[in-house]
Structure 1
Amino acid sequence: MSAVATLPVRRRVSPKLTRGLIGVVVLLVLAELVSRLGIIPENILPPMSRVLLDTAGLIVNPAFLGDVGSTLTAWAIGLGIAIVIAVPAGLVLGSFRIAYEASSAVVEFMRPIPSVALIPLAILVFGLGTDMKIALVVYASLWPIFFNTVYGVRDVDPIAKETARTFRLSRVGILARVSLPYAAPLAATGVRISAAIALIVTISAELLAGSASGIGSYILRISSGGGDTSLVFAGTIVAGLLGMLVNGVLVAIEKKIFAWKKEGVA
């Protein structure tokens, strides 16, 4: 074996990632200078060096990690319920045009209602606990998953359906063995979109409703108590990092499960 063949393969750093990191560093440096030079008072925009130190402290703070756990619990349960409801509903309504047209009036009425507008109603029905957050997450997360599943089902190759019928598959069999595999990539994209929406709604509900626990509740306690603005920014940064982490994990799962999309269908 030649010496060249034994050399380790070096993975190149993605130029997109490099440019993104450079942009973040430049933004942090500019924010630091703006604060240090007094262009914006430190009580409004604290130095980014202090914010980053507070962020590191929050990540290892047991009390704050409890708030993070509360947010993620409501997020995960609500998103899971939304998936269980939206995917079957999208499969059925996307496959049967009459059923979709019969339900379209209700769907089009409910879809534009913002989740935050339902917070007072959710508080009346579920109180200020986790159930309230879960209900809002379910409502907000349903729509991207549902419509992506419907579009995926409608995009199924008609020849594939006809082939399934020649093998005498029932309608349920066609849904399970033809429509669902075809619609799965679009449904997964809907799940990824809904995951970000669900996190936003969870934290917003905690912040606006004054929930007992959660990242939004932590930010509300610090800001309303006249606390350090740096801690408010730190809590916000943690929320943003969680969103990036969730999206990155779901993108990786999509690439793993649907690798055939890039390779094409033989």
Structure 2
Amino acid sequence: MTIDYRRAPVRTGLAVGTALVLLLAWEIAALTDVIPTRFAPSPSQILGELGGMIATSALWSAIGATLYAWAQALALAVTAGTAIGLALGSSRYFSALFGPILDFLKPIPSIAMIPLVIFTIGSGKNAEVFLATYGAFFQMLMSSISATRMIDPVGRDTADAYSFGFWTRLRYVIVPSMLPQLMTGIRIASNTALIFCITAELLMGMAGLGSALGAAGSAGNLTVMYAYIVVIGIVGFSLNTGLLALQKRILSWHESYRNEAA
């Protein structure tokens, strides 16, 4: 019997089965003290703690604070990264003028800018949004530049031959050509923005999942700390899954999705 890995139920079943096997192995290792619980509580302990946390407002407030900053950072990064990437990818003059500056800034991690951000912006949510935007911006910029340079030359020449206006050209040539790569860039930028939001909260103490995780670790409450790690993983997984569903819906016309098995 051949397993069709393209089918969504098959992929979901395999992923769930693998996760359950790993959790069972971890539980057995914790019970037999192969993994000392003082370093890593068992899955049953973590899930029990998480079940109690779900009923508290503190958990949901932390999730809301992190997602609020993440949404702002992603929106800013996608808007700026796509616009600037389109300009740089379309014009060699813009690329020559600003490309070296962006190449200089790109390797600088957001975390290295924390002292400067605290001095200029402060240590509030605006600082967190700036750091997350800075990190996610370059993900979108690279995707946008690459997507712009992959615009179908035949479609571009056809638009020139029929004297398409800017908005018509944008709707029927530029956007359809760029969308597949842009959607991938958005998912990568989303993950990056979430990572930097949580890191900023952890290091700078802003309200959110990062600061809650840090507080639990500082207090030596490993079960709560691991529970927050699980929550962060669930949040990241949910955001990525949602963006994948959106990508599949928006790109239903694209060849990579058109023939996909149900």
Taking structure 1 as the reference length, the TM-score comes to 0.89
Contact 1:141/1:195 (8 A) holds in 2: yes
Q: Per the alignment, do residues 165 and 70 of structure 1 end up closer, same or farther by CA in structure 2, a change over 3 Å counting?
A: same
- Using the TM superposition, name which of 168-177 and 118-127 deviates more: 168-177
Shift of residue 77, structure 1, vs aligned partner: 0.5
Q: Distance in 1 between matches of 2:88 and 2:172?
A: 17
User: 1:132-151 counterparts in 2 under 5 A?
Assistant: 132-151=127-146
Q: Which runs of 5+ in 2 are unaligned?
A: 1-6
Q: Distance in 2 between matches of 1:119 and 1:218?
A: 19
Shift of residue 253, structure 1, vs aligned partner: 0.4
Find the residue that maps to 1:163 and give its secondary structure: helix
Runs of 4+ in 1 over 6 A off after TM superposition: none
The structure number with the bigger radius of gyration is 1
> Which of 246, 251, 264 is equivalent to 2:244?
251
Find the residue that maps to 1:46 and give its secondary structure: coil
Find the residue that maps to 2:164 and give its secondary structure: coil
Q: Distance in 1 between matches of 2:122 and 2:54?
A: 29
Q: Distance in 1 between matches of 2:121 and 2:203?
A: 15
Contact 1:91/1:179 (8 A) holds in 2: no
User: 1:27-176 counterparts in 2 under 5 A?
Assistant: 27-170=22-165, 174-175=169-170
Contact 1:192/1:247 (8 A) holds in 2: yes
Shift of residue 88, structure 1, vs aligned partner: 1.2
Between Structure 1 and Structure 2, how many residues are aligned? 251
Find the residue that maps to 1:14 and give its secondary structure: helix
Q: Distance in 1 between matches of 2:162 and 2:170?
A: 14
Q: What residue identity is the alignment partner of 2:50?
A: T
Q: Distance in 2 between matches of 1:111 and 1:248?
A: 27
Shift of residue 123, structure 1, vs aligned partner: 2.0
Contact 2:74/2:193 (8 A) holds in 1: yes
Instruction: Please name the residue that 2:4 is paired with.
Output: none
Taking structure 2 as the reference length, the TM-score comes to 0.90
RMSD over aligned CA atoms reads 1.8
Instruction: Please name the residue that 1:197 is paired with.
Output: 192
1:238 paired with 2:240, answer no
> Which of 196, 215, 222 is equivalent to 2:216?
222
Q: Distance in 2 between matches of 1:131 and 1:98?
A: 33
Shift of residue 173, structure 1, vs aligned partner: 5.6
Identical aligned residues as a percent: 31
Deviations 1:88-123 (A, max 9, x none): 111111111221122111111111111222222222
Q: Which runs of 5+ in 1 are unaligned?
A: 1-11
- Using the TM superposition, name which of 250-259 and 115-124 deviates more: 115-124
> Which of 10, 23, 31 is equivalent to 2:18?
23
